[in-house]
Amino acid sequence: MQYRMEHDSMGEVKVPASALWGAQTQRSCNNFKIGSERMPAEIIQAFAFLKKAAAITNCELGRLDEQRARLIGGVCDEILEGSLGNAFPLVVWQTGSGTQSNMNVNEVIANRANQLRASDVEALHPNDTVNMSQSSNDTFPTALHIASVLALTERLLPSLQTLIKTLQRLEQENKDVIKCGRTHLQDAVPITFGQEISGWRSMLEASQDQITSTLPHLSRLALGGTAVGTGLNAPAGFDKLVARHVSELCGHDFETDPNKFHALTSKDAVSFAHGALKTLAANLMKIANDVRWLASGPRNGLGEITIPENEPGSSIMPGKVNPTQCEAVTMVAVQVMGNDATIGFAASQGNFELNVFMPVIAYDFLQSANLLADVMRSFEQNCVAGIHANLAKMQHNLNDSLMLVTCLNPHIGYERAAQVAHKAYAEGTSLRDACVSLGLLSAAEFDAVFKPEDMV
């Protein structure tokens, strides 16, 4: 491999000749050979948005000439288009402030811009030009918030809305289908299948509202706080103006955090938002488990619904088909719950003026958002959209349920109704036969009050 020599404040470093990065990125590559988890592409893209916004702002405030501001913006556009993806090799397990990833972006932008600049344009420097009016300590939390907002609004919430709409359709289609309700995994009084689905739908709508409520907190940016929150070396008005330009570039409303000391040291907005993702994961776990319970069988389980048969389920049992989409949902759910524990603990480690657990917070938050977005889309397309009620099995289970006896409470009382249920279960007879044989109601009286359709 061919190398070139790059230098930073600590001296010279050998860098692959074709690499766009510089000395500080290479030092990180050399010193942090830990794991295979790379800094998420969403964070790099967020950096591109904020670096372009910072260049525009510095130009408007008279700190940066227009030619170099345009060069920075042009390279940022290349990053956003994905054409420089190989220029960002750093792992998550690096400095907890994300300084090395900030410098990775600075070096790539500076080197690429210097390749493109005209001979009469002053050379760009990673720190002095691209990082002007900034610090890693305010850019990384800003990139984290930008990436989080984009992941939620452009990926997760649309997937969630699609799943909700499919459940709304199923709810309407099954509004008159009466089935046995269940509590404690035991038979309970009747319910319509539409009502059961409405519970699933409402859970997801609640999660939708909760996630949306976190966006104003995530939309507050640390940019302008520089090293410790004081805004040292940033011009007056930089923070508000750069937030406006980030908003214009991203197509989402961002604002400067009114307290930069809070913005640098606290990760409460991300922890709060991920808590809403954990709640969504818990709701999806419940729905997926309900679906696979109701579809269990096909002959020796509940079998009250059918779900699409997507692939063979066993390498040894011919004809076996498993609820694989439900299993994918539940695996994602437990991963998100684990990520929430990591993020919560990492967010508690904001010592003095800076939190130094930001790369792992970013990695886990974006993994959760992306996994949930993907699994909801897959679950909706490959399972939920194809759910059908097994009307015959629902009717059989309903008629066989002893808890229909609850409708007799107003007529014979709780204790006598319990006596009817116990007798029917012990003797394997119907509730009607047990009630009549106990002399509690005549057959005609029983038929007049025993109406499962009125119990929903």
- CATH of residue 80's domain is 1.10.275.10
Q: Which of 133, 131, 11, 140 is CA-nearest to residue 61? A: 133
The proportion of the chain whose per-residue pLDDT surpasses 90, expressed as a percent, equals 98
139 within a domain of the structure (yes/no): no
Asked if residue 335 and residue 204 are part of one domain, the reply reads: yes
179 within a domain of the structure (yes/no): no
Asked if residue 435 and residue 372 are part of one domain, the reply reads: no
- Indicate if the pLDDT at residue 1 is higher than 90: no
CATH of the domain at 380: 1.20.200.10
For residues 291-319, give the mean pLDDT. Answer: 95
Other beta carbons within 10 angstroms of residue 19's beta carbon come to: 19
223 within a domain of the structure (yes/no): no
For residues 290-317, give the mean pLDDT. Answer: 95
Q: Which of 343, 357, 332, 222 is CA-nearest to residue 281? A: 332
pLDDT of residue 433: 95
Q: Which of 328, 151, 346, 324 is CA-nearest to residue 250? A: 151
CA–CA distances in Å: residue 433 to residues 116, 179, 441: 90, 22, 10
Query: For residue range 152-186, what is the model confidence (pLDDT) as tens digits?
Result: 999 999 999 999 999 999 999 999 999 999 999 99
The proportion of the chain whose per-residue pLDDT surpasses 70, expressed as a percent, equals 100
For residues 221-249, give the mean pLDDT. Answer: 98
What's the domain count of the chain?
3
Of 369, 391, 413, the position where a domain reaches its end is: 391
The answer to whether 200 and 290 are in contact (CB under 8 A) is yes
* Overall pTM surpassing 0.85 (yes/no): yes
Asked if residue 438 and residue 343 are part of one domain, the reply reads: no
Q: Which of 213, 314, 437, 442 is catalytic?
A: 314
Q: Residue 448 and residue 257: Cα distance in Å, rounded?
A: 67
Containing structural domain, residue 447? 401-455
pLDDT of residue 165: 98
Q: Which secondary-structure segment (H or E) carries 373?
A: helix 358-382
Residue 229: pLDDT band (50, 70, 90) is: very high
CA–CA distances in Å: residue 111 to residues 84, 87, 397, 414: 12, 11, 70, 81
Asked if residue 266 and residue 201 are part of one domain, the reply reads: yes
pLDDT of residue 395: 95
Q: Residue 298 and residue 309: Cα distance in Å, rounded?
A: 12
Q: Which of 36, 119, 184, 315 is catalytic?
A: 184
CATH of the domain at 441: 1.10.40.30
189 within a domain of the structure (yes/no): no
Q: Is 245 a catalytic residue?
A: no
CA 162 to chain centre: 15
- Say which amino acid occupies 175: K
Asked if residue 295 and residue 211 are part of one domain, the reply reads: yes
Asked if residue 421 and residue 324 are part of one domain, the reply reads: no
253 within a domain of the structure (yes/no): no
Query: For residue range 186-211, what is the model confidence (pLDDT) as tens digits?
Result: 999 999 999 999 999 999 999 999 99
For residues 423-433, give the mean pLDDT. Answer: 94
Across all residues in the chain, what is the average pLDDT? 97
Q: Which residues of 95-131 are buried (b: 16+ CB within 10 A; e: fewer)?
A: bbbbbbbbbbbbbbbbbbbbeebeeeeeebebeebbb
- Indicate if the pLDDT at residue 122 is higher than 90: yes
306 within a domain of the structure (yes/no): yes
Asked if residue 22 and residue 109 are part of one domain, the reply reads: yes
353 within a domain of the structure (yes/no): yes
- What is the signed CA dihedral for 62, 64, 70, 76, rounded to 10 degrees? -120
For the chain, state the CA radius of gyration: 30
CA 310 to chain centre: 25
Q: Residue 242 and residue 55: Cα distance in Å, rounded?
A: 9
Residue 105: pLDDT band (50, 70, 90) is: very high
186 within a domain of the structure (yes/no): no
Asked if residue 45 and residue 112 are part of one domain, the reply reads: yes
Asked if residue 7 and residue 126 are part of one domain, the reply reads: yes
- CA within 13 Å, CB half, 310: 16
| 7: helix, strand or coil | strand
For residues 73-98, give the mean pLDDT. Answer: 97
Q: Is 401 a catalytic residue?
A: no
Asked if residue 286 and residue 161 are part of one domain, the reply reads: yes
Asked if residue 438 and residue 321 are part of one domain, the reply reads: no
For residues 71-99, give the mean pLDDT. Answer: 97
Residue 273: pLDDT band (50, 70, 90) is: very high
Asked if residue 422 and residue 336 are part of one domain, the reply reads: no
For residues 3-29, give the mean pLDDT. Answer: 96
For residues 67-75, give the mean pLDDT. Answer: 98
Q: Residue 380 and residue 270: Cα distance in Å, rounded?
A: 27
Q: Residue 432 and residue 245: Cα distance in Å, rounded?
A: 74
The answer to whether 400 and 303 are in contact (CB under 8 A) is no
Residue 392: pLDDT band (50, 70, 90) is: very high
